A and B are shown apart, each in its own frame.
Chain A
Amino acid sequence: MLASFIIVFREVLEAGLIVGIVMAATAGVPRRGRYLWGGLFAGLAGAGLLAALLGELTQMFAGNGQDVFDAAILIFAVLMLAWHAAWMARHGREMATQMRDMGAEVLAGQRTMKAMAVVIAIAILREGSEVALFLYGIATAANLSAASLISGGILGVLAGGAVSWTLYRGLLAIPLRHLFGVTSTLISLLAAGMAGQAAALLANDDYIPALGYQLWNSSRLLSTGSIAGKAAQALLGYSDRPMGIQLLAWIVTLCVLLWLSHRPSKSKHSSAGNLNHA
């Protein structure tokens, strides 16, 4: 039971940390609930579909189908996060400080919520398909201990969900005027980590140059095999043995996202009122 708990907890935690940050980053966007739920259910449905089609996917791209697909959806998620960062820079501060005065902003808010729903769906799709296949294996193995393994899995989902919820509530405890700065930095780190992972996947299969297969080895300090290492990987893009191209993608993405979310707002009405620039 402990083994299945750890496996499921780890996967749920990886997706859940991303979902928690996205939820905090969209705090104050009107009518966001249905997009968050939509992303969640789309991700779960997609995870099931991916698990069912994984055999065919594996054989595509000369046997690199899993890596290419993973890299493609990661890059798509990075684009969505970049779009959100650019949008939030323009509208987020007004939204956070003038919650009552929205009108036209509601419409614009729907658009960034669509992008963020995609990010949630991708995060759940990636980890959920692994959980689905793991649980499917237990269910079909007709093992006597299946019941205890399944209960371990359910506990893993609950525990992973609880950690993500705690992260979300913790972020919301940050005073509103600082929240934007904190979440935009976290979103930038998320995107940088995803871009780095995508680059490493493509370089490992020789689609792009690796620019050095191992810049350093910090696995003794924090191994990506450990739960803390996996969390650091999901949140910050940490790698204990990064490739050159991975670090390059991480730095470039981080800089672009931070620039997008912190560049001065061009919208006219942003100069009005008590805005706190992060």
Chain B
Amino acid sequence: MASKAIYFRCLAVGVVASLLPVAGMAAPLSLVLEAHHFTPDHIVVPAGSRFKLLVTSHDTTPDEFESPDLRVEKILLPGQTISVMAGPLSPGRYKFYDDYHPEAAHGIVEAK
């Protein structure tokens, strides 16, 4: 089951990466949302440059990846992976959360 999930994640990453060749940008960072928790829940990105997050849901119900700090609001259905572009950020800590379960599912993007 876990290997299947990883396979799909790699497939999703591969498909998105091949369709969106972005020059001069770091490799996308992957996040998994499972049981209403983000893994990892602390991501470090370089300050001052654009970056991409790939968020995959292993939850059983719809989630909404949201962050006013990162200017993101995107619905994430079970089993799907969404790509989120953000930045450039000035150094600091930026909150993100699942707006449908904000108490449990939240994390931090740290720009250094």
B-binding residues in A (CB < 8 A): 3, 7, 54-55, 58-59, 62-64, 66-67, 129-130, 133-134, 136-138, 140-141, 200, 204-206, 213-214, 219, 223-225, 229, 239-241
Q: Are A7 and B99 in contact (CB under 8 A)?
A: yes
Q: Which residues of A contact B86 (CB under 8 A)?
A: 204
Q: Quick one: closest A residue to B16, CB to CB?
A: A63
CA distance A129 to B83 in the complex (A): 20
Q: Which residues of B contact A206 (CB under 8 A)?
A: 22, 85
CB distance from A212 to the nearest CB of B (A): 10
Q: Are A240 and B68 in contact (CB under 8 A)?
A: yes
Q: Which residues of A contact B63 (CB under 8 A)?
A: 137
Q: What is the number of contacts between chain A and chain B, taking CB atoms within 8 Å?
A: 70
29 A–B contact pairs at CB < 8 A? A3-B102, A7-B100, A54-B75, A54-B77, A58-B80, A58-B82, A59-B80, A62-B19, A63-B19, A63-B82, A66-B74, A66-B75, A133-B62, A133-B64, A133-B75, A133-B100, A134-B62, A134-B64, A134-B100, A137-B62, A137-B63, A137-B100, A138-B61, A200-B71, A213-B50, A213-B88, A214-B88, A225-B69, A239-B71
Mask for B87-112, Cβ within 8 A of A = 1, else 0? 11000000000011011000000000
CA distance A214 to B62 in the complex (A): 30
Q: Quick one: closest A residue to B77, CB to CB?
A: A55
B20 at interface, CB cutoff 8 A: yes
CA distance A66 to B75 in the complex (A): 8
CA distance A129 to B64 in the complex (A): 12
Q: Are B77 and A58 in contact (CB under 8 A)?
A: yes
Task: Knowing that A62-B20, A140-B60 touch, tell me 9 more A-B residue pairs with CB under 8 angstroms.
Answer: A7-B100, A58-B82, A63-B16, A63-B19, A63-B81, A66-B75, A136-B61, A204-B85, A214-B88
